[in-house]
Amino acid sequence: MPQATLPDPQAPQPIEAPAANPGGHPGDEVPPGTPQSAEDVCGRCAGRGWLDAGVCPDCAGSGRVTVNVGDA
Ligand SMILES: [Zn+2]
């Protein structure tokens, strides 16, 4: 009679695969469920968050903006 196979506590646990990100790229920071949008470096201040005149009005100083990517 074969011995029952018990889970080996020393066995490496299967690593959960990262959530699928269809149409996206690694590093995208858009929350799941955000339709047709993606966060990207602000093009106006090149990600600095500041312009010569002060805080970048496009990204409010964050250096990042959420852009509408539409249907690719
Ligand atoms: Zn900006």
Q: Which DSSP state fits 68?
A: E
In a domain, 17, yes or no: no
| Alpha-carbon 58 to chain mean position | 20
In a domain, 54, yes or no: yes
Given a contact cutoff of 8 angstroms between Cβ atoms, the answer to whether 59 and 43 are in contact is: no
In a domain, 16, yes or no: no
Instruction: Tell me the residue range of the domain where 51 lies.
Output: 37-68
Tokens representing residue 9 in the block: 């506590």
Residue 14 CA to ligand 1 center (angstroms) comes to 41
Q: Is this prediction's pTM over 0.85?
A: no
In a domain, 53, yes or no: yes
In a domain, 6, yes or no: no
Q: Which DSSP state fits 7?
A: P
Q: What is the pLDDT of residue 3?
A: 77
Domain count of the fold of the chain? 1
Q: What is the pLDDT of residue 29?
A: 67
Q: Residues 1-57: pLDDT tens digits?
A: 677 787 777 877 777 765 555 666 667 666 666 678 888 999 999 999 999 999 999
Residue 25 CA to ligand 1 center (angstroms) comes to 21
Residue 39 CA to ligand 1 center (angstroms) comes to 12
In a domain, 59, yes or no: yes
